[in-house]
Structure 1
Amino acid sequence: MATTTLTPTQRAVRTTVALKALMAVSGLIMVGFLLAHMYGNLKVFAGQESFDGYAHHLRTIGQPILPYAGLLWIIRVVLLASVVGHAYAAVKLWARAKRARGGGNTKRYQSTKGRTGVQRTYASFTLRWGGIVILLFVIFHLLQFTWGTVHPGGASGSPYQRVVNGFGVWWVVVAYTVAMIAVGFHLRHGMWSALTTLGANTSAIARRRLNLLAYAVAGVITAGFLLPPYSILLGLVS
């Protein structure tokens, strides 16, 4: 049987450290996208002309060097690569952790606090299950606002009106709220974990600062995304 000899570079990129670095970098890219997307969503408070103008401008940035919507497609490709890389690293790391425990029947944390005698970790809830909730929501979000396949509240050629129509429906706001709470928990642990992986957690002071930063980023993004839907639902934006 022939054996495959890996080069030092090939061995390095398959290590747990490399997977954690991939997860950290791809996660931070998505945080940057969330901040930019949140800023765009808050333009709804400036009115329809401003919001629609912003949406149109996103598609004309870089012209004539870039084609129409060229920058948006670059952002989409980078974001898709980040999502795929993040999910790949998460699954591989989870599988390695499971193998290290000797399979699925081994209890990782013994504790009298848990009903079954096992203490589940904060990360196991917020990162794994939260990630699934976020993925399902992103698919619905794209169907509603990007592809226009579904349009609760009514279809419209105006990006502003699509947002107002959609968030005028109570169950859309509820689904959005659940998703954004999942994003907040995901960010709270993910920011801390990513920056720790990249070497920022070097002392007790640095650890406290990372915790404050993680809480701040998670809080700002969650609140920033929830302001428009609730303002629309309550009639503050029409």
Structure 2
Amino acid sequence: MVTLGQRPATRARHTPRPSSVQLKIVMAVSGALALLYLVAHMIGNLKIFLGAEAINTYAAWLRTVGEPALPAETLLWLVRVVLTVAIVAHIVSAVILTRRAHRARPVKYAHRQPVQGSYAARTMRWGGVIILLFIIYHLLDLTTLTLNPNGVPGDVHANLVADFAPSRWYVTLFYALAVIAVGFHVRHGLWSGLQTLGHNSAAAQNTLKGVALVVAVLLTVGFLSVPFAVLTGLVR
């Protein structure tokens, strides 16, 4: 009942928050997009073993694919936009889920036993920070060529050889640490993602872990093969 001169009460409108399940799905899908990019990127990197012409031609093709129907670099910018959205969505979802997990456990126990889940979560968080820092450096190094010692647009082979030269061992070391972090991230993330998307039966756990491990190892070895080939003189 509303009296004269009194405004009726209005219900506060709240923007519905995504559920934890929805956020995990976002992480799984965005992680899958990032994984597909990593596989394609690794395959492209391995062309350096076919010679300078092979990898330089491949890099040039990426900039011209779709012409003349599409403007130059359309594919590259499409991939960059989709990948950026996926990474941002992945990070935001991870931060929200982490905060919710902390709020759900407000009491810290004095003698809490460490568990595999908490260890994996910490590894994923710190690994994610390392990967994010590496992405920023990698873009400045081999995309904008700002930090690359050779820095010649289109000459991917020479840029990579100059980047991972023996005198720049610290760059190779940082690259190796970042790639290993990616490997751990992929192993745990792929396993978690497959579970989130419904493959979580007890009988499938060992298979999922095995698949995730194999994919992570192949990616790690594939990416590390390039800098170490340059470092050892196999690629000049």
Q: Give the AA of the match of 1:19.
A: L
Measured in 2, the distance between the counterparts of 1:75 and 1:108 equals 48
Measured in 2, the distance between the counterparts of 1:119 and 1:202 equals 19
How much has 1:215 moved relative to structure 2? 0.2
How much has 1:148 moved relative to structure 2? 1.1
1:156 aligns with 2:160: no
**Secondary structure in 2 matching 1:150:** coil
Alignment of 1:122-161 (within 5 A): 122-152=119-149, 154-157=150-153, 158-161=155-158
How much has 1:120 moved relative to structure 2? 7.7
Structure 2 match to 1:3: 12
Alignment of 1:218-233 (within 5 A): 218-233=216-231
Q: Please, what TM-score do these two structures have when normalized by structure 1? A: 0.89
How much has 1:121 moved relative to structure 2? 2.5
How much has 1:202 moved relative to structure 2? 2.2
Contact 2:34 2:83 in 1 (8 A): yes
Structure 2 match to 1:106: 108
Contact 1:133 1:179 in 2 (8 A): yes
Structure 2 match to 1:209: 207
How much has 1:54 moved relative to structure 2? 0.1
Contact 1:151 1:166 in 2 (8 A): yes
Measured in 2, the distance between the counterparts of 1:233 and 1:119 equals 36
**Secondary structure in 2 matching 1:236:** coil
Q: Give the AA of the match of 1:229.
A: P
Measured in 1, the distance between the counterparts of 2:116 and 2:218 equals 30
Task: Indicate how the Cα distance of structure 1 residues 34 and 165 shifts in structure 2: closer, same or farther if over 3 A, else same.
Answer: same
How much has 1:2 moved relative to structure 2? 4.9
Task: Indicate how the Cα distance of structure 1 residues 38 and 107 shifts in structure 2: closer, same or farther if over 3 A, else same.
Answer: farther
- Deviation digits for residues 164-185 of structure 1 (CA, Å, limit 9, x no counterpart): 1101121110000000110111
Contact 2:187 2:215 in 1 (8 A): yes
Alignment of 1:26-175 (within 5 A): 26-102=30-106, 106-107=108-109, 110-111=112-113, 121-152=118-149, 154-157=150-153, 158-168=155-165, 169-175=168-174
- Deviation digits for residues 15-56 of structure 1 (CA, Å, limit 9, x no counterpart): 111000000100011000000000011001011111100000
Contact 1:109 1:119 in 2 (8 A): no
Identical columns (%): 46
| Unpaired segments ≥5 residues, structure 2 | 1-9
- Deviation digits for residues 91-114 of structure 1 (CA, Å, limit 9, x no counterpart): 000010011012xx6249812xx6
Q: Give the AA of the match of 1:4.
A: R
After TM superposition, the runs of 4+ consecutive aligned structure 1 residues lying more than 3 A away are: none
- Deviation digits for residues 120-141 of structure 1 (CA, Å, limit 9, x no counterpart): 8231232100000000011000
Contact 1:27 1:86 in 2 (8 A): yes
Contact 1:110 1:119 in 2 (8 A): no
**Secondary structure in 1 matching 2:68:** coil
Q: Please, what TM-score do these two structures have when normalized by structure 2? A: 0.90
Range moving further from structure 2, 166-175 or 120-129: 120-129
**Secondary structure in 2 matching 1:200:** coil
Q: Give the AA of the match of 2:214.
A: A
Q: For the pair shown, which has the larger CA radius of gyration, 1 or 2?
A: 2
RMSD of aligned alpha carbons:
1.9
